[in-house]
Structure 1
Amino acid sequence: MKYSQVLIGAAAASLASAHATIYNVWVNDVDQGTGNSAAGYIRSPPNNSPIKDITSKDMTCNVNNVAAAKTINVAAGDKISLEWHHNNNSPADDIIDSTHKGPVMVYIAPASSNGEGDVWVKLAEDGYDGSQWAVQKLIANKGKHDFILPSTLADNKYLIRGEIIALHEADSAYSANPGRGAQFYMECVQISVSGGGSTVLPAGVSIPGAYSDTDPGVVFNLYGGFTSYKIPGPAVWNGGSSGTAPKPPTTTPAVPISGQAPGKAEDPKSTPIATPAPIATSAKSPCKPKTSTDAPKPTKTPCTGKTPTTMATVATPAVSGTSAASGATVALYGQCGGQNYQGPTTCASGSTCTNYNPWYSQCVAA
């Protein structure tokens, strides 16, 4: 292998630090404990790689669509929070790389279907509100994305499918250019609903099958001049009655962005999911986790002393055209240039800044 190829591979590997998976689920602001283990309640993949082929069966619940050991007991009308993380569920985790802007969605299907067929109904979605992407809100909220179960939802066991679509390489379809394409992150959480009504899920969509390369929300230039973003997939179900036609999808305005470069392709290698430390739920909430492994019908557990989650708004600083303070140097194999790059451009002694493309230059051995 040529030396230049090794360097390019090293540069790409350094960029593969943005992936995310679901680690925890909260019910009415009560942590249910870590769920992405062999004894957990999430159908978790072995690593945090995205799915890029929208025709793959792995679009359903990722690469490990196998029943988990436990199921979370919830009540109809409960607030559910899916907690996403990059490497682990520690407070210091970066959740997902901030460049991976895009929508966050939640689907539901009967657990008995195993996610197969036209069974997926969209419960929630968040795209772009004119100032922030859903992923930016997710990071600001420490990885949590909240939604409410319909209060009249019929008692049953369900799969909750959380999904992030990262658009930083979505300017081309994966089928046209496997080196690019939108990145899909998803997993399925097992829940058992009690205390509900008679509302059964309406006919849904098939996943894979809900998305197409012709969808403007799947092939989308995040760095070009755009005025709107349409979230792909079906409309959000209103949850009021069985089979009720959902509201038509909305198109949210977006501020035109220009002068930025397309995102860089990532190394296909991914980070294995770390084995998280046990969570002391008593320190976070006076309520105990409501997980079970038993088949009997669950009952709603009252909870007091709930601590509400606060959404924080993070202001995005304006990008200036100046570089980092003079005197700073870039370590060997570090980035030293590229369109819109704002860091230092002087390489450490014994290395030189080499340009690979208009958006990326790297310090390599002289």
Structure 2
Amino acid sequence: MKTAAAFVLAAANLVAGHATFQSFVIGGKDQGQHFAIQTPANGNNPITDVTSTAMVCNGGKAVTDRVEVASGSSLTFQWHHNDPATVSGDNDEPIAASHKGPVMVYIAPAASNGEGAVWTKIYEDGYTGGKWAVDKFIANKGAITIDLPNLAAGDYIIRPEIIALHEGNRPNGAQFYNGCGNIKVTGSGTATLPSTGVDMTKAYKATDPGVLCNIYSGLTSYEIPGPKVWDGASSGTAPAPTTPSKTAAPVSSSAPSQTATPTVIASPSATPIKEAEPATPTESQAAPAPSSGSGSTLPETFTIEQFISWLKTTTSTRNARRAHPRAFQL
């Protein structure tokens, strides 16, 4: 009985509960009703024949206006129940609550006029967590927001779509609502659409599980009809920079400080370092003993200047050339 009552309610909303795509919203600003939009030829009536040419752009007349939107940025499609919209007092604004189903968005090159296998799916939302995409659509007051792929700059036709499944339990009962609009993508995006897409008159079959679907039968999952979302649409971020970001090099703990005091050279340790030759140094070849005085001997701790002075003094003797090297301590 509950299922039958649900179908009766759905039938009552058959005429009253429709919707149409009416404007673009970019950066929070509505671009104007019907601006750059192909207004449907049959009002807000649904399409039930999935092979109809109305599946392309709902019979809308081509327009030359375009809205500019940056590659990779957000784009919103604003829908309303009536045209012109009468939001106040309209219980079916933006669509009747019974019209549950998925939401999808397709895009095609503008030069194609949407004809043939030129459409690429860039967004879809179906049934998750017990909530339909249309439920979110109603909560968002008829707004569908997506992130564009990082498309190369150019002109495109974009097509949002809703499938209402309140009568989807029978063949040709599912109701399709779509509309087309013209966008000019700007920016430095590089992604190009696949060379072959889908023909919207062949994208669905009347027997597809996502089309012939009884939503009142204890549904726990839902298979969105049509092609998969294009993998080039998986990211809404701007293209990565061509030059990697630079990071500061780590500071070595052994690097000298810029404020360090002059280097001090220490005298040799108690055990002198032996020279390569001769193997056993003689007593006369030993380095002068450390001393606290000045002149021909070095103090225990001395500076570079003292060491140079000592060298000059000792070069006059024969043993100066054979003096033991001293340890330099930084």
TM-score normalised to the size of structure 2?
Answer: 0.63
1:29–1:79 CA contact under 8 A, matched in 2: no
Matching residue of 1:52: 48
Matching residue of 2:127: 128
* Deviation for aligned residue 1:215: 1.1
Is 1:198 equivalent to 2:190 in the alignment? yes
Distance, in Å, in 2 between the alignment partners of 1:14 and 1:126 is 23
Within 5 A, what are the aligned runs for 1:163-202? 163-174=161-172, 181-202=173-194
Cα distance per residue 1:299-339 (max 9 Å; x no partner): xxxxxxxxxxxxxxxxxxxxxxxxxxxxxxxxxxxxxxxxx
Matching residue of 2:36: 41
Distance, in Å, in 1 between the alignment partners of 2:99 and 2:54 is 20
Give the letter for the 2:227 counterpart. Answer: P
* Deviation for aligned residue 1:15: 4.7
* Deviation for aligned residue 1:198: 2.6
Q: 1:165 to 1:14 in 2, by over 3 A?
A: closer
> Could you say what secondary structure the match of 2:54 adopts?
helix
* Deviation for aligned residue 1:29: 2.0
1:171–1:220 CA contact under 8 A, matched in 2: yes
Q: Which has the higher contact order (CA 8 A, sep 6+)?
A: 1
> Could you say what secondary structure the match of 1:70 adopts?
coil
Structure 1 unaligned regions, length at least 5: 1-10, 175-180, 241-245, 247-366
1:23–1:89 CA contact under 8 A, matched in 2: no
Seq. identity, %: 52
Give the letter for the 1:156 counterpart. Answer: G
Within 5 A, what are the aligned runs for 1:1-366? 15-35=14-34, 40-46=35-41, 47-64=43-60, 66-87=61-82, 88-92=84-88, 93=90, 94-151=93-150, 153-174=151-172, 181-202=173-194, 203-239=196-232
Comparing both structures, which one devotes a greater share of its residues to helix? 2
Distance, in Å, in 2 between the alignment partners of 1:144 and 1:80 is 10
Q: Which has the larger radius of gyration?
A: 2
Comparing both structures, which one devotes a greater share of its residues to strand? 1
**Deviating more after overlay: 162-171 vs 217-226:** 217-226
* Deviation for aligned residue 1:12: 6.8
TM-score normalised to the size of structure 1?
Answer: 0.57
Q: 1:170 to 1:149 in 2, by over 3 A?
A: same
Cα distance per residue 1:145-188 (max 9 Å; x no partner): 1101112x1111101101000001111112xxxxxx10000000
* Deviation for aligned residue 1:214: 2.6
* Deviation for aligned residue 1:58: 0.9
Spell out structure 1 runs of 4+ moving beyond 6 A: 11-14
Distance, in Å, in 2 between the alignment partners of 1:222 and 1:12 is 14
Structure 2 unaligned regions, length at least 5: 1-9, 235-330
